[in-house]
Amino acid sequence: MSFIPKRLKEFDFVRLFNELGWDQLTVGLEAEVGGHVYSLQPVAKKKGVQVLECLPGTDGNIPAYAIRQKIERKVTADAREHLIIFTDAAQTRQIWQWVARAPGRPTQYREVKWQQGQATELLEQKLKAIAFDLNEEESLTVFGVAERLRGGFDRDNVTKKFYRVFQAQREAFQRFIEGIPTDDHARWYTAVVIDRLMFLWFLQEKYFLDNDKRYLRNRLDTHCTAASGMSFYKAFLCPLFFRGFAEERTETNRAAIQAEFGNVPYLNGGLFAEHELEREHGEAIDIPDAAFAALFQFFDEWDWHLDERPLATGKEINPDVLGYIFEKFVNQKQMGAYYTKEDITEYIAKNTIIPCLFDKVRREHAAAFDAHVWPLLQEDPRRYLYPAMLHGVDEEYPEEIAVGIDTGAPNLLERRKSWNKPAAPSHALPTEIWRETIARHQRTREVLAKLAAGEVRTVSDLITYNLNIRQFAQDVIERCTDPALLRAFWVALAGRLPRKSNEKFRHGLSVLDPTCGSGAFLFAALQILKPLYQACLTAMSGLLADEAIHGRPLGDKWKDIEETVERFHAGGTDRQCDYAVLKHIIVHNLYGVDIEAQATEIAKLRLFLKLVALLEPGDEIEPLPDIDFNIRAGNTLVGYASAAETERAVMGAEQQNLFTSAWDDIRIRLAAVEQAYNNFQIQQVQRGGHVTPEDKQALRDQLAELEETLNGHLCREYGKNPKKPKEYKAWKTSHKPFHWYVDFYPIMSTGGFDVVIGNPPYLEFKEIDYNFRGYVTLDSGAVHVVCMERSNNLLRENGCMSMIVPLALVSTQRMKSIQRILEEGRNAWYANFAWRPAKLFDTVNRALTIFVVAPSSKSSVYSTGYTKWTSDTRDDLIPCIAYSRVPDSRPAFWIPKLSNSLELSLLLKLMNGNKPTIQFMSKNGAKVYYRTTGGLYWKVFTDFAPRFVLNGLPGSSSRETHFYSSVRYVKPLVALLSSNTFWWWYTVTSNLRDLNPSDIQNFPIPEAALSDSRLKQLGNSYLEDLGRNSSMLVREQKKTGRTETQSFKIQKSKAIIDDIDRALAPHYGFSEEELDYIINYDIKYRMGLADGEADADE
């Protein structure tokens, strides 16, 4: 490779790539931009990738940053994978430009700059990286999908194998621990020690520990051979943790540390600082050598590495696999916490972080923002729809399908008979029937038309139309050429470090997970923020290059941009720039709290591993950031969250004292905390900067004093006496108070967090051993609802929030108060997901809702239908989310689950002048029987009691109930409640877990329908058919014994049910299109057209 510098300096790119093994490219391209035609000369090609040299413009200079981007987009139309080398006429400057593509991530614009007189080493290194990336991208087009799929299965297998033994090892290790009296604290300390050791296991695999790949094992063996009177834990590990890794090197200690531990790096960071349990129990803690021997033996059975190589042997452990393991298994079901897959965490993170970022920037630069941002959607609408939505949209439909498109022609139901068949793969996503494919295509065309017409011009629209918001944000920033607007994006993201003594520190975009577990949502936020940081740096570098190309001196308006670019690129390599970006994000953007202390330790470990994964042997390891004040252990729901709450508590306790103010004292102390906290963050992101243990301890002491003061006040509010040590300690142990206003004072004192995301615990009050007070939503009886209210209180006025919670949020009376809180002054989106045939959480049978809320001057509410899917179509689930507007005035507590505008029309017709079923019920008379549980796809209503036999004796099932009505109404009511219309109503309005009396009582009925002889006749025919198609289902149950239950195959009566809806249509005023929709609603799953069988009524 010695030829590279010479060829670069000679601008001889053809020979350069020829010697690199590329093939000859003979045909160039032209790109017209702004009335000028730029010539792109052929350089080389390799497996579909083209290298082109763009000659300078008429002024002899390299085109400006914005023009270079436009040229790149023009070239993409002819050569998707390419590399462009921009040169000037004098052959003094080069800019190498390419677009990085990775599956599931936004494409990112990249440039590398060089000019005569500079060393070529950096460009040589980047050139090799580019070549590798291009080859990798090319292979991804052929093998990428299969490789990712294979990797997913491998990861699951590795996870199960590793964790099965790891869990046993961890429990065994905990039993070895001496000197920690409580099981809870012993379990916590087990996590602390094992997390440290796993981190070091990764480091030693890269020879960062004394150049020894078996450093820890060899040191243990040496210790055991020496037969020391002390344990390995006390003699070696504690000194290694607290001196070797946590003590900054000085002239006085360097040699001693080297002699004792060998060549190990100074890591700093909270991971190797003395833990609070170590401070509390001190010398009493000990762990026998046998504990480490067993643990190290287990670790040795696996291949530990920090990169993302394919999982070939099933024994590889990398940070992603480890994170997956912790997410999947540490979030225990008994804590109401469940593993959240990456598609959900990404959806929630991107649809809060990016809207919040855009809103912040637009508030400062509205005119410049609107002029730059929204035209991008018009320029290339398809770029911002997901591939799943676009699939097949340009294909012509077969004649038997096309004949059903025209809704105005007669016999629509007959013309659409073929729409329930599986659609052609050329048109359809996996498992789609034609009805679904056409609905998706129609939605896609509507959105494309709105984008092309320039009708999408608000941040909220990006969520409503489920656009590829990550790609859009990437393009918006990378294509920004307005220094003021670009600076606004950067400051909104990364904050502002004071450049002068009179400047104030400004925090970056703050993202909180208030029930963070082991960090899944924080990791998702990291993945969203990183490319946005990189886009800003790319754009800033491009603008600086333009100034240099034209020889313009950098004035004051560029100074902060220049300093920012230099700070993040100070390391000189892409990896070191990435390290600086990740470190800044971890310190300045991410915050988390969890009641389980061991979960927070894992979250911090995973973030540290994300950083270390960027390092290579020989790199100088920068001190790790200390994020002990970012990710905290405590009870999100117990403690003071605002200034008002804190002041009220403190002043209430001081009413008897007229001469001193405890509140004034606390405010003075909080000001000192803010200064120390901000300095703590600032110092860590400056290259080479870190915080001393003394500074950290001083901040910790300040916080501890304030926390203890507030704990005393709060303890009294809970009816306990803080002056009784045993009572006070028991209260603190059970409630784990966390005072947001103190512990995150710099954030809370400026209005709160910008973004709150997460997956709160799905627990009822009766399932927890602590209580809380002062919440509006206490009537919900649900912990996750109170978490939502607390999160709302922690959110900045113009902040965004999103969580995944049970479907009850949109469908039960007790959720009314939290709905009101979420929607006040905001737009709200509710995406609703079923739990059969497939489910979002593998380990729980629960229907779920993802809500997103964002600020708006005029509140609007949007929802999706009740989305069902099969497990093999999971990848298309989130990209195909379709929201519909919900009426501003809702008649009840439920938020209707609407898939499209047709469903809104149906809803309005049902509610227009019809009477609820309860008006046709009575206290006695004839009975209508129904089952309160079961029936995922059908509900059974009869005018007779279904047969039930228990241990040979006739009886009635506890699942059966009934209501009374007039004899003349019974058969019409059975027909109405068995109709497709009722099934649609039930799906749109209920929680779909049980059939509650209110689900029936509130169903709107046209009174005239009850006197319709045709409906009465159909009701009778349906009941007869139901009986003919029934059978006795026998079950042997441990508690109750042998049961025999009359089971109904309702789908066999579908033709009669459809006739019922035909009879109902004129009563409700349904159009033929609406009737077609109702009759075929949910048909793929109800009739078993998807994989698997539809249930009957069980």
Q: Residue 951, Cβ neighbours under 10 Å: how many?
A: 10
What pLDDT, on the 0 to 100 scale, is given for residue 115?
87
Mean pLDDT along residues 18-39? 90
Look up residue 859 and give its two tokens: 């509140």
Identify whether residues 144 and 199 lie together within a single domain. no
Question: Is there a single domain that holds both residue 97 and residue 224?
Answer: no
**Other beta carbons within 10 Å of 831:** 29
Least confident of 714-718, 767-771, 795-799, 914-918: 767-771
Confidence category of residue 792, pLDDT binned at 50, 70, 90: very high
Residue 916 within a domain: yes
Percent of the chain at pLDDT above 90? 67
Pairing mode of beta strands 511-513, 590-594: parallel
The Cα 125–Cα 722 span in angstroms is 63
Element of type H or E holding 32:
strand 29-33
pLDDT surpassing 80 at residue 481: yes
Torsion of CA 672, 674, 676, 680, to 10 degrees: 180
Same domain, 62 and 130: yes
Do β-strands 631-633 and 826-833 pair in parallel, antiparallel, or remain unpaired?
unpaired
Q: How far apart are CA 969 and CA 953, in angstroms?
A: 32
Give every CB contact of residue 361 below 8 A, 6+ residues apart in sequence.
369, 485, 488, 489, 492
Q: What percent of the chain has pLDDT over 70?
A: 92
In this structure, is residue 183 part of a structural domain? Answer: yes
Per-residue pLDDT at 691: 67
- The number of folded domains in the chain is 4
| Mean predicted confidence (pLDDT) in 1041-1068 | 97
Whether 430 maps to a domain, the answer reads no
Task: Specify if 706 maps to a domain.
Answer: yes
Q: How confident is the model at residue 686 (pLDDT cuts 50, 70, 90)?
A: low
Task: Find the mean pLDDT for residues 66-71.
Answer: 93
**How sure is the predictor about 498, in pLDDT bands with cuts at 50, 70 and 90?**
confident
CA distance 917 to 283: 72
Q: Give the DSSP per-residue string, 224-266.
A: HHHT-SS-HIIIIIHHIIIIIITS---TTTHHHHHHHH-S---
Q: Above 60 in pLDDT, residue 148?
A: no
Q: The tokens of 459 are what?
A: 């941040």
Q: For residue 180, is it within any domain? A: yes
Please provide the average confidence, as pLDDT, over all residues in the chain.
Answer: 89
Beta strands in 781-847, from DSSP E residues, in sequence order: 795-806, 826-833
Structure tokens at 991: 């929680």
Residues 216 and 137 in one domain: no
**Residue whose pair of structure tokens reads 């603190």 in the numeric block:** 732
d(CA 321, CA 362): 39
Indicate whether 1043 belongs to any domain: yes
Question: What does the pLDDT read at residue 330?
Answer: 57
The type of residue at 256 is: A
Residue 927 C-alpha from the chain's centroid? 49
Domain housing 724: 639-737
| DSSP bridge pairs for 1030 | 1048
In the prediction, which pLDDT does 652 show?
74
Q: Which of 101-105, 749-753, 829-833 has the lowest mean pLDDT?
A: 101-105
Taking alpha carbons only, the member of 957, 980, 981, 977 closest to residue 965 is 977
- Look at residue 143 and tell me whether its pLDDT is greater than 50: no
Whether residues 43 and 65 fall in one domain: yes
Domain boundary among 120, 135, 155: 155
Would you say 468 and 384 are in contact if contact means Cβ atoms under 8 Å apart?
Answer: yes
Same domain, yes or no: 993 and 1038 = yes
Can the peptide bond before residue 483 be classed as cis, meaning omega within 30 degrees of 0?
A: no
Task: Categorize the per-residue pLDDT at 228 as very low, low, confident or very high, splitting at 50, 70 and 90.
Answer: confident
Domain check: are 265 and 290 in the same one? yes
Q: What is the pLDDT of residue 126?
A: 61
Encoded tokens for 944: 């007779």
Helix (H, G, I), strand (E, B) or coil at 915: strand
CA separation, residue 711 to residues 209, 706, 723 (Å): 43, 9, 11
212/303 same-domain check? yes
Asked whether residue 1029 falls in the same domain as residue 924, the answer is: yes
Under a CB-based contact definition with an 8 Å cutoff, are residues 614 and 583 in contact?
no
Q: Look at residues 317, 336, 365 and tell me which one is the last residue of a structural domain.
A: 317
Is residue 853 within a helix (H) or strand (E), and if so which, with residue range?
strand 848-855
Domain boundary among 128, 155, 182: 155
The confidence score (pLDDT) of residue 959 equals: 86
**Is residue 272 domain-shared with residue 300, that is, in the same domain?**
yes
The secondary element (H helix, E strand) that includes residue 1034 is: strand 1030-1037
* 132: pLDDT strictly greater than 70: no
637: its two tokens: 């729901």
Dihedral sign for Cα 916, 917, 920, 922, please.
negative
Which of 327-336, 343-352, 743-752, 886-895 bottoms out in mean pLDDT, i.e. has the lowest? 327-336
The three-class DSSP label of residue 913 is coil
Tokens standing for residue 41: 């000369």
- State the pLDDT confidence band at 136, using cuts at 50, 70 and 90: very low
Compute the C-alpha angle 694/598/302, nearest 5°: 105
Task: Tell me the mean pLDDT in the region 990-994.
Answer: 93
Question: What is the DSSP code string of 274-333?
Answer: PPHHHHHHGGG-B--HHHHHHHHHHHHTSEE-SS-----SS-EE-HHHHHHHHHHHTS-G
Tell me which residue has tokens 């509390």.
Answer: 280
The answer to whether residues 151 and 113 belong to one domain is yes
Is residue 416 situated within a structural domain? no
* pLDDT band at residue 151 using 50, 70 and 90 as cut-offs: very low
Q: Which pLDDT belongs to residue 836?
A: 92
* Residues 948 and 1044 reside in one and the same domain: yes
What is the per-residue pLDDT for 689?
Answer: 59
pTM above 0.85, yes or no: yes
819 found inside a domain: no
